[in-house]
Amino acid sequence: MSHDNKRRKWKKYRKGILAALPFVTPGLLLVCIFVLYPMLFTFRIAFSDYQIVKREITWIGLDNFINVLTAKNNSFWYAFRNNFLYAFITTPCIIFLGMFFAYLINNLNKGKTIFKIGFYLPVITSWVIVGLVFQYLFNSSNRGLINYVIVDVLHLSKNYIPWLLREWSGNTAIWIMGIWKNTGWAMLIYTAALQGISKDLYEAASLDGATSWQRFIGIVIPMVKPTTYFVLVNMVIGSFNVFIQVMLLTAGKPNGTTSVLQYLLYDKAFKQFKFGEASAIGLMTAITIIIVTVILNRGLKLDTVDKEETV
Amino acid sequence: MNKLKSKKASERIGQILLWLFLLFALAIFSVPYLFMISNSFEKFSFSLPFPPRIFPKQIIFDAYQYILGLDIFTVAFRNSVINTVLTVAIELLVATLSAYGFARIKFPGREMLFNIYLLTLMVPGFLNIIPQFITLGAIKLPFPGLSEGLVGTRPGLILIYVATGICGYTFFLRNFFRGLPEALSESVIMDGGTHMTIFTRIMLPLSKPAIGTMTILALQGIWEEYFTAKVLLGANESMITLPMLLQRLNGEHATRWEWVFAASILIQIPVIILFILFQRKTVIGGLSEGSVKQ
């Protein structure tokens, strides 16, 4: 009897595997060879001294991690701080601007598509191109548009600001570029969410004499909460993948104070050829992303439970 | 009657004000674009014009003529088109198949394997380039040009592009496939159909919006990809792609910014056309549906 059961189970197993093979195998093979194997290899390098030319790998334990964490110029900690700052500063701006523009566009009777496309253009523009343009916009001399507007038009400052060469102005440029590039994405997601809100709600509110702004605060923000979570999680995780902005705008100058983890990794691997330390940074970045994701998901789950209880 | 009229009038004024405000916001938002476009029409003068311009003073196509006349631009354009089209075609095939496998076939280890796919999405990808480089070098095929390994070859680059996209696209499409009604597939099985019939007859036709979205995102992603191409193709001049050419123009001719901007615009035009043509059906529809359902 139990023998029969086992056999039946095995048969079911085999059936499942045979059915899945033609679908899953091509992808799985490619992932194993070109994604998983390289990842394990990186994992190994993180604990080794790797001489790429000689192809020598020697196990050295935690030395790479210690070297990275205790580097004299604190480069890791600056990068780590900057990733979190990027998340804390750009995410709320992107969420607010995206929601605000989506609400305004949604209230239009005509011409919705033009504005949707207009605000979405930065999203489909290549990062490399955007980086080049911002390099020129934030040029240190009077030829940069931002300096020109601040000094020659608005007279807010007497001297031209060397934007990309100072710690906080450099970081600001990186944040502005991130906000500019991603607002359109949030706007698009929010316009879809707003279409799901019934018109009756607005009309009832207007009859009660609510202004547009009151409707925005009182109806729109609470109603699109799930979408806000979605955008929030995406933007926060995305903040740990910031790279091209930094490479093209500041290259971490001055002294790595505008660097981020991915740029530090790139610099260690492809400029200094310290693959061990680069892999250690990669591993710590991955762990940070996983922890942040888990915390965000916990937070969201707690919140939805709360909501169900109150309803 | 009068009240209705005045209500309509005030609504119209509201609409006009809204239009004006959005137009103003969009104008500020477009400054980087205007700056790029107006400077691509500039005449060479060793430095950016003062005061900085966001509207062109005159329209000269010299920079565009120069870029379009470069032999290497033609080569790079051809390479970028071939790489992008081949990669996305193969990616679509592999990713839809595997997404179906994860969404609709119960096989042992499915959840674990899927979680591994998800995990790979959280690890910064480009450190993998070193082991990928070594692995490609070790794959020697008995074809002309491929006997020395796949580094510096088109098939090598496309393999890496396809492989690194699979986990993300499988995740995206699996969510969509799962949202489709299961009753349809059950009826196919009752009629003696296989998973392949369900996949080709039901899933693919019903998933057009999701597949369309994925296609556009993938096309755009490969079209602008710089880093992997640079590392894998670096030394092979005949394989240069458009983003590589752009970086080279920027490095060699930092003062000829009108060339850099003209090239940027030429590279961006196909993406914008593609987006405008398909935005209603795919990008906006698919992206927002995918996100709101989650």
Tokens for A285, please give them.
Answer: 């970045």
Q: List the single best residue of A40, A113, A145 to mutate versus B (max B Cβ within 10 A).
A: A145
Nearest CB partner across the interface for B47, out of A34, A39, A143: A143
* Domain count within chain B: 1
Q: Which residues contact A152 (CB under 8 A, 6 or more apart)?
A: A142, B51
Rounded to a whole number of angstroms, the CA Rg of chain B reads 25
Rounded to a whole number of angstroms, the CA Rg of chain A reads 25
Place of tokens 């710089």: B226
Mark yes or no for CB contact A109/B15 under 8 Å.
Answer: yes
Q: Is B177 at the interface with chain A, CB within 8 A?
A: no
Residue A182's pLDDT band (boundaries 50, 70, 90)? very high
Which residues are bridge partners to A56 per DSSP? A51
Q: In this structure, what are the phi and psi dihedrals at residue B51, rounded to the nearest 5 degrees?
A: -65, 155
Tokens for A156, please give them.
Answer: 């807010």
The mean pLDDT of chain B is 85
Chain A residues inside the 8 Å CB shell of B15:
108-110
**At A31, which amino acid appears?**
V
Tokens for B225, please give them.
Answer: 């990809």
- Is residue B33 assigned to a domain? no
Report pLDDT digits (tens) over A123-179.
Answer: 888 888 898 889 888 888 777 888 888 888 888 888 888 888 888 999 999 999 999
Q: How far apart are CA A103 and CA A109, in angstroms?
A: 12
- Residue window 200-229, chain A: list those with CB within 8 Å of chain B: 226-227
* Residue B281 pLDDT: 62
Chain B residues inside the 8 Å CB shell of A226:
292
Residue B80's pLDDT band (boundaries 50, 70, 90)? very high
Q: For B143-169, what is the mean pLDDT?
A: 90
Q: Is A259 at the interface with chain B, CB within 8 A?
A: no
Q: How far apart are CA A51 and CA B69, in angstroms?
A: 44
- Smallest Cα distance from A48 to chain B, Å: 14
Mark yes or no for CB contact B97/A22 under 8 Å.
Answer: yes
Tokens for B269, please give them.
Answer: 């035009």
Chain B residues inside the 8 Å CB shell of A160:
none
Report pLDDT digits (tens) over B168-190.
Answer: 899 888 888 888 888 877 788 78
Mark yes or no for CB contact B15/A113 under 8 Å.
Answer: no
Query: A96: part of which helix (H) or strand (E)?
Result: helix A75-106
Give me the interface pTM, i.e. the ipTM: 0.85
Chain A residues inside the 8 Å CB shell of B223:
126
- C-alpha angle A303-A306-A309 in degrees, rounded to nearest 5: 155
- Is residue B2 assigned to a domain? no
- Is residue B170 assigned to a domain? yes
Report pLDDT digits (tens) over A184-237.
Answer: 999 988 888 887 777 777 778 877 877 878 888 888 888 888 888 888 988 998
Q: Higher confidence at residue B44 or residue A133? A: A133
Supply the range of the domain harboring residue B241: 62-293
Residues B98, B166 contacting (CB under 8 angstroms): yes
Q: In this structure, what are the phi and psi dihedrals at residue B177, rounded to the nearest 5 degrees?
A: -55, -40
DSSP category for residue B198: I
Q: How far apart are CA B244 and CA B225, in angstroms?
A: 9
- Residue window 61-90, chain A: list those with CB within 8 Å of chain B: none
- Is residue B235 assigned to a domain? yes
Report pLDDT digits (tens) over B211-267.
Answer: 888 888 899 899 999 889 988 887 788 999 999 998 888 877 666 888 888 999 999
- Is residue B163 assigned to a domain? yes
Q: Is B269 at the interface with chain A, CB within 8 A?
A: no
One-letter-per-residue 3-state SS of B107-148:
CCCHHHHHHHHHHHCCCCHHHHHHHHHHHHHHCCCCCCCCCC
Residue B294's pLDDT band (boundaries 50, 70, 90)? very low
* Residue A15 pLDDT: 84
Mark yes or no for CB contact B39/A136 under 8 Å.
Answer: yes
Report pLDDT digits (tens) over A6-32.
Answer: 888 888 888 888 888 889 999 999 999
Nearest CB partner across the interface for A13, out of B94, B108, B223: B108
* Residue A311 pLDDT: 31
In terms of average pLDDT, the best of A40-44, A228-232, B2-6, B94-98 is B94-98
Report pLDDT digits (tens) over A222-276.
Answer: 888 888 888 898 899 889 989 888 988 998 888 889 999 989 988 888 888 888 9
- Smallest Cα distance from B242 to chain A, Å: 11
User: Over 80: is that where the pLDDT of B289 sits?
Assistant: no
User: Over 50: is that where the pLDDT of B290 sits?
Assistant: no
- Smallest Cα distance from B54 to chain A, Å: 9
Find the closest chain A residue to B53 by CA distance: A145
Mark yes or no for CB contact B107/A19 under 8 Å.
Answer: yes
Report pLDDT digits (tens) over A280-307.
Answer: 998 999 899 889 988 988 877 655 544 4
Q: How far apart are CA B66 and CA B74, in angstroms?
A: 12
Find the closest chain A residue to B249 by CA distance: A132
- Residue window 167-206, chain A: list those with CB within 8 Å of chain B: 180, 183, 188-189, 191-193, 196
Place of tokens 């790429």: A52
- Is residue B268 assigned to a domain? yes
We report the CATH number of the domain holding residue B110 as 1.10.3720.10
Domain over A65-310 is classified CATH 1.10.3720.10? yes
- Is residue B42 assigned to a domain? no
Residue B3's pLDDT band (boundaries 50, 70, 90)? low
* Residue A136 pLDDT: 85
**Cα-based torsion angle of the residue sequence B105, B110, B113, B118 in order, rounded to the nearest 10 degrees:** 70
- Is residue B23 assigned to a domain? no
CB-defined contacts A:B, below 8 A = 239
Mark yes or no for CB contact A286/B124 under 8 Å.
Answer: yes
Find the closest chain B residue to A152 by CA distance: B51
Q: Where are the domains of chain A?
A: 2-46, 65-310
